[in-house]
Structure 1
Amino acid sequence: MDKINVLLIVTLISIFISLILAFFLLTVKTKYKTSNILFAVFLILAAVDLSEPLFNLVVDGPSNLGMLRTTLAFLQIPVFYLYVVSVCYSDFKLKPKYFFHLLPFLIVNIVLLPRFYTVDLSSKINFIINRQHMIELQFIHILFHIQFVVYFIAVFILLRKTKKLYLENNAGTHLNSYNWLFQFTVVLTVLYSIALLKNIFKFSDYPYISEWIKFGILVIQPFIFCWYLFKALNNPELFRNVDSKLQLVAEIILEEKNKEQSVANEDNYNEELLKLRSYMIEKKPFLNPSVTIQDISENIQIPTRELSVLINHQLGQHFYDFVNTYRIESAMEILKDTTKSKVTILEILYEVGFNSKSSFNTAFKKHTGNTPTYYRNNLQISSL
């Protein structure tokens, strides 16, 4: 089996997997339909991008359709960015303003109109043969590199901000989901970086290196997408409960300073802090695995904005860590209780408001310096 046949087989497999995954996302019943549609579109665009070897078998020579297929790559990263936005924010909706993301794709195709789309076949062939000297293609390559850098920086900034918003307003366990979404973005960044390297070699004196890189991408990409969707199916909630209207505490503080207002005077601060701590001890809202700062705000009659500043700024703790402190203290009380020595660690973590063993272990070690098991065993040894 020669190299061309192997490339075609791998291409067919990669495209088939991408399209099957896209079909699944478009047909599966879920309340997160918009996110699924966006990722399905991303998979379809990726499949179109991978289809070059098959396309060249069907279409002989350069064509308008072939060039359009190539320029569709300018839609992949914007669609992925919108997908990440839709996953992070619970109130995400597709709006007309998002058509702005089509701009690079439209610009590229307008640039190609005079000397490619509107000319005869011989002129198209000449355009491709002399591609290294064509200013349009040089512009397209530069624009794609700029788009790649800008969008992936925007994605990482978005994930960082969303994680911080989550920590400041929620005390659930969705940070694990953040971690693998971040990992997927890193992997995708590396994949696109390799693809850019492939394009550099394609228009250099070493085009064969580009072919080998293309083959590697064809093999790796389906596995990456399958891994991501497997994770997504096992963590369907992801963030999903971060409201895009929420502000970071740093932004609130800056606004207050600009208005020359103090966030709260000392007496008011002490009064609100006392009310908060009394409520946490008496009502134990931390036992609810998905408690939010809004929930506590409603119950103690302190505006969410003020409460967020109180906890995240005045106390110097994220709401996530603030709530987990009470959960860990409660867990430590259970671990110290000799009458509950038969209660397992798993039972304890669920009882105090955690719903993930990994998040419980991480929080417990952060608070005490030890794992729950070590802490319990050490107590037993000390009592002997």
Structure 2
Amino acid sequence: MQKHIFNIHDVVLFMTVAECFLLVIFQAILPVKNQLANRLLSTFLISIAITSACILVLWNDDVSLFTAFDEYLLPYFLVIAQMLKGPLLLIYVIALTEDAFKLARRHLVHLIPAAVAVAWLALFQIDSTDLRFRTLGMTETERQIANGVWHFIKIMPFFYALAAVNRVRLYRIGLHNQYSNFSPTEPSWLNILTLGFLFTWSFSILVHVIANTVALAAPQISDLFGIAENYIIFILINALFVNSVVHTHKLLTTKPEAAKDKVDEKLTDTAIQKVQQGMEIQKLFLKQNLNIDEFSKRINLPVKEVSAVINKHYGTNFFEFMNSYRVEEAKRLLSDNQHADMTVMDVLLHAGFNSKSAFHRFFNRLVGMSPTEYRKQNMNKEVKIA
């Protein structure tokens, strides 16, 4: 009877490796506007593939390449791939969301954790057998040194995932501060993905803790959690690819927030007046897809002063500020008999909205009823007065 090299769980690891490389090839031929983000995503996928392949070779005794790799080189490939996936995820998110982002020398700092881990392997001459804790006569100190590698490569990706989640949070704040209209779908996808990796890498730490506490008494528990982690990674890789194809090209980019200075503390009457004139005389809110850069140019006021006026004087952000004026314009149109022939869609477009869902969401929140209900109520009032 033939011996089975792979069980179904190893097949998932193998499929993850194969799919990552296939997606890298697909990314290479896919037309994208953000080439840097595309390259970062491809490198991230390669790091996931290498990590999964190394895990497969490390723990499956029937899978091997050649002795020198299996015993001595594999720990270095595993550590480097594992330590780079966190920074790659974070920088990928930044490249997607920050306007005109470029890699710089300062980003080399993210290589330091990988360099430290590699130095640790080299200094203590840790090989694959040590990482499996199968070295004959292994002392407790040697076991702790080898386990230190696992501690490090499990914990570091978690902190980078945390940073990526925070980066998406700041990005959403930036969208509200810099745009008057945007689709929430793409930021939500990005948020779900970063939270997904945060959960997965948190789960990986849990697996590691279980392996170090209850694995000796109940090894099946550790194996079960480890297998679940592999399935989650496989699902996330597929979701990441779907997001890159369907949603990332629609993402708006934001400019880094300017450093706060005295303009935030003391607003000038001239600045406030210019913003008011832009809204009440020029009626710039009627322009769809207006962003804060274009608004500042139209009223001849620096972006940081526009932002300061809206944030400090009006106590809101650019997104809310613009759409509150648009709702008032919509109320005017809906309550005017001269515009009774306008549909709700006509009204929202004329008021400056470009999304039906955003219009209804804002109108209901600010007015307390739907646009249709508001129109009926105001038309009834006019009939009674007549």
Matched, 1:197 2:199: no
Q: 1:127 to 1:308 in 2, by over 3 A?
A: same
Q: CA deviation at 1:17?
A: 2.6
Structure 1 regions of 5+ residues with no counterpart?
none
The equivalent residue for 1:345 is 344
* Residues 163/65 of structure 1: CA separation in 2 closer, same or farther (3 Å cut): same
In 2, the alpha carbon distance for the partners of 1:225 and 1:151 equals 17
Give yes or no for contact 1:87–1:238 (8 Å, CA) kept in 2: no
**Match in the other structure for 1:281:** 280
- Which range is displaced more, 312-321 or 132-141? 132-141
Matched ranges for 1:172-321 at <5 A: 172-203=181-212, 204-205=215-216, 206-237=218-249, 239-244=251-256, 246-247=257-258, 252=260, 255-256=261-262, 263-264=266-267, 268-269=268-269, 271-321=270-320
- Counterpart in the other structure of 1:332: 331
Q: 2 CA distance for matches of 1:282 and 1:78?
A: 48
1:114-153 alignment to 2 at 5 Å? Answer: 114-116=123-125, 128=135, 130=138, 133=141, 134-153=143-162
In 1: Cα distance, 2:223 partner to 2:75 partner? 19
1:64 alignment partner in structure 2: 72
Distance 2:243 2:129 in 1: 49
Distance 1:97 1:180, change over 3 A: same
User: Given residue 28 of structure 2, which amino acid in structure 1 is its aligned partner?
Assistant: L
User: In 2, are the aligned partners of 1:169 and 1:293 still within 8 Å (CA)?
Assistant: yes
Cα distance, 1:95 vs structure 2: 1.6
Q: Find the aligned partners of 1:211 and 1:236 in 2 and give their Cα distance.
A: 36
- What CA distance in whole angstroms lies between the structure 2 residues aligned with 1:283 and 1:294? 16
Kindly tell me: are residues 345 and 230 of structure 1, through their superposed partners in 2, closer, same or farther at Cα, counting changes over 3 Å?
A: farther
CA change 1:351–1:131 in 2 (3 A) is farther
**Whole-angstrom distance in 1 between the partners of 2:116 and 2:25:** 30
Q: 1:68 to 1:375 in 2, by over 3 A?
A: farther
Instruction: For 1:311 and 1:334, locate their aligned partners in 2 and report how far apart those are by CA, in whole Å.
Output: 25
Q: Is the 8 A contact 1:324 1:363 kept in 2?
A: yes
Taking structure 1 as the reference length, the TM-score comes to: 0.83
SS for the counterpart of 1:63 is helix
Shift in alpha-carbon separation, 1:223–1:153, aligned structure 2, 3 A: closer
User: Is the contact between residue 63 and residue 124 of structure 1 (CA under 8 Å) also seen in structure 2?
Assistant: no
Q: Distance in 2 between matches of 1:336 and 1:366?
A: 18
Deviations 1:10-69 (A, max 9, x none): 223332332222222232121201111111211221122222325641247751222123
Structure 1 pair 357–292 and aligned structure 2 pair: CA distance change class (3 A):
same
Quote the offset at 1:124 in angstroms.
8.3
Q: Which residue of 2 aligns with 1:42?
A: 44
Taking the aligned partners of 2:99 and 2:297, their CA distance within structure 1 comes to 20
Q: Does structure 1 conserve the Cα–Cα contact (< 8 Å) formed by 2:155 and 2:205?
A: no
| Paired position in structure 1 for 2:109 | 100
Per-residue deviation, 1:8: 3.0
CA contact (8 A) 1:327 1:353 kept: yes
Change (3 A) 1:156 1:90: same
Q: Percent identity?
A: 20
Q: CA RMSD in A?
A: 3.1
Q: What's 1:168 paired with?
A: 177
